[in-house]
Amino acid sequence: MPLDQLHWAWQALIAATLGVGGAFALVGAIGMLRFADFFMRLHAPTKATTLGVGGVLVASLAAHAALGRFGLHELLITLFLFITAPVSASLLAKAALHLRAPSHAPVPPEQPRP
């Protein structure tokens, strides 16, 4: 059965998750362009874009469920994405700290040692 012949509730669910996923992906892409330095730009794809891709994968899971199939591939992709995105962001941030990447964030003054 094609997707356009599904019940309206399934179509609404799929459209809503695609819309939410697309909105998060758009916000992540805008954040990549607008943020000032590496550390701020790292925040956009790890949070917003991860949720955006997750929303699209949930929509794909819903479409397969509506057709009576189990979407194992989408479930594995979602699991892999939500596990690897924070780990890779952490490793990139640690590497940038090690290489002393410039940051535009305000640096607090040094506190006197007791």
CB of 35 closer than 8 Å to CB of 48 = no
Residue 112 in any domain: the answer is: no
Enumerate long-range contacts of 40-43, CB under 8 Å, 24 or more apart: 40/104, 40/105, 42/89, 42/92, 42/93, 42/96
- 25 within domain boundaries: yes
How many whole angstroms separate alpha carbon 76 and alpha carbon 9? Answer: 25
Residue 105 has pLDDT above 70, yes or no: no
Tell me whether residue 57 is in a domain.
Answer: yes
Q: How many structural domains are present in the chain?
A: 1
Q: In the predicted model, what is the mean pLDDT of residues 97-110?
A: 72
Dump pLDDT digits (tens) for 35-82. Answer: 888 888 888 778 787 888 888 988 988 888 888 888 788 888 888 888
Look at residue 48 and tell me if it is in a domain.
Answer: yes
User: Is residue 70 assigned to a domain?
Assistant: yes
Domain encompassing residue 76: 3-98
